[in-house]
A and B are shown apart, each in its own frame.
Chain A
Amino acid sequence: MSNSFEINWNLLLPEIVLVTAALFLLLLGVIYRVRAGGTGPALAGAVLSLAGLVVCAFMTLAQWDTVSGTFHGMLRIDPFATYFNLLFLAGAAAGVLLSVREAGSLRGVAGEYYALLVIATFGMMVMVSAADLLVVFIGLETMSLAVYILVGSRREKAESNEAALKYFLIGAFASGFLIYGIAFLFGATGTTQFRGLAERLATTDGGPSGLQLLGLGLVLIGFLFKVAAVPFHMWVPDAYEGAPTPITAYMAVAVKAAGFAVLLRLLNVGLLPLASYWLPVMWTLAVATMLVGNLGAIFQSSIKRMLAYSSIAHAGYLLVALASINPLAANPADDRALLAVLYYLAIYTLMNVGAFGVLIYMGTAGRPMDTLEQVRGAGFRYPLLAAAMAVFMFSLSGIPPTGGFLAKFYVFSAAIDRGLISLAIIGVLNSAVSVYYYLRVVVQMYMRESEEPLPALSFSLPVALAILLSAWGVLQLGILPSCLLDAAGRAVQFLR
């Protein structure tokens, strides 16, 4: 065996930065613990992790034109990976900003908390820049394990523990499905590399074998658990409700985007020859996911739970786009379904960060903002916050001129392009249903009087910054979407 393996370390620089930042955060936690208590560690942790994320983002941005692989074809950096890496970094930065206010309740695990947030992001980046199912699996596990721990990081709260346990058990079950499916695909084709998989699947005589389809099914189940598609969504409401709110926001945006990103790469590279088998599955699951998500959200009185069901519904809209992928498109950049997914996930990240950010801002230490009754009268007491919340709710329900409207427009027009008229109609009807529960929040804020006087809120720069940036993004990209669409087009160009 020769010793002259060439490794292009530059491709891995962003990941190395993140791991280094995480190691420093862990050290910071233990050293501060020995020296002093108070909110010092939490603040230092937030600053350090933000610095790490920003440096990493610049390094990722510098890779924008790179299309290259290394590590024996295990790692592939292309604009698709870079696009999603930036999205994950943005989600993680939002998670850090939203966490600063609640840092006091971290009870001495502040260093670990931020370190895990950074490592989870590292796991996502590994996943989306992987060219091999094994690396995808390890990245997924790194991300999931870190997020399970983050969900349960409020040890003194029973609901946090419960959410972590439920999420962990179901997540571990899903990982089992995934690795089982990978084993079957490996058994049927003899490779775990995406490209090799596509070649072997395309050249199977007489259509795909039962083994290959079994592998496909099990792998899909594994990922559909992560993106919370029906019928693999049962964990979502409890896990989202019990987790600390900044982590809920992080789960809703980054974990979901990571799941969709890797699913998109897998379906468009490795499993593309089986497209005629997975497209109908996506169709069916899209309908079921939209229905369950939207109908479930109507009956929620807790806003956090409502947003959990809303995240299921949005997974449904994204599955509509996956069902509309054209496997024969000569240039993937012309496939509007792919563009729609990338645009949707970016906007979805902004809307959710904003909505959870407003919830965090409106809550005070002794009185977390949760139920619909609690936001009554907020439109008069906190006009700016309520206006931002209204923007996010309009965007989530898909009302112009917000990004949410364009996102849904692109998804449904992609479906119509492919002749999936009935799917598009079901999607639009679902979207109409969703207006009811999103606008209910706005109605409560502006048209109802609060029974007790709402408390004065202390100003929090990081949370305000996250809300402001999200609101600006949602409006800006809703009116002038072209720069994001161009980036998305470039991202999918080298996908296949």
Chain B
Amino acid sequence: MHNFLAILLTLVITAITVGGALLLSALIGPKSKMTREKERPFECGNVPFEEPGKQFPIHFYVVAILFIVFDIEVIFLYPWISSFGTVGRYGFAGAMFFILILTFGLIYEWLRGGLEWH
């Protein structure tokens, strides 16, 4: 639990820094109205020519969902590696079957053309 103290401290310090900066600028900074010039991108940005929430092809979604599936596979394998010494052959067989099925999934996906962009 105490290992997490550092993370907590990071969180707190981040919150204080960001919140403090915002608060200070709101408190001491000069008040001015929003003008058209102020809404433009800062310094090096391009002037936007369309709304950001644009519809995009479904293929991104397919790639994303396939990513999640294999992400979860890795999540399940990490405890296996951590306990490799104790779970022994039994755990090895279990993990191998798990990997086998998902490797089959990968092969299927490959043959099916799920990994090709066009």
Contacts and interface: CB of A to CB of B under 8 A. Distances in A.
Interface of A: 1, 3, 5, 19, 23, 26-27, 29-31, 33-34
Contact of B108 (A1, A5, A19, A27): A27
B112 A30 contact: yes
A31 B87 contact: no
Contacts of A34: 111
A23 B88 CA distance: 28
Interface class of chain B by DSSP: helix
Interface string B2-28: 000000000000000000000000000
A29 B107 CA distance: 13
A45 to B, nearest CB: 14
Given A30-B112, A31-B111, A34-B111, A23 B104 contact: yes
Interface in B84-109: 86-90, 101, 104, 108
Interface residues of B, number: 10
Contacts of A26: 104, 108
A3 B90 contact: yes
B90 A30 contact: no
Contacts of A1: 86-88
Contacts of A29: 112
B108 A30 contact: yes
Nearest to A109: B112
A247 to B, nearest CB: 21
21 contacts: A1-B86, A1-B87, A1-B88, A3-B87, A3-B88, A3-B89, A3-B90, A5-B90, A19-B101, A23-B104, A26-B104, A26-B108, A27-B108, A27-B111, A29-B112, A30-B108, A30-B111, A30-B112, A31-B111, A33-B112, A34-B111
Nearest to A5: B90
A167 B42 CA distance: 47
Interface string B57-98: 000000000000000000000000000001111100000000
A342 to B, nearest CB: 33
A298 B61 CA distance: 42
Contacts of B87: 1, 3
Given A1-B88, A23-B104, A27-B111, 10 more contacts: A3-B87, A3-B89, A3-B90, A19-B101, A26-B104, A27-B108, A30-B111, A31-B111, A33-B112, A34-B111
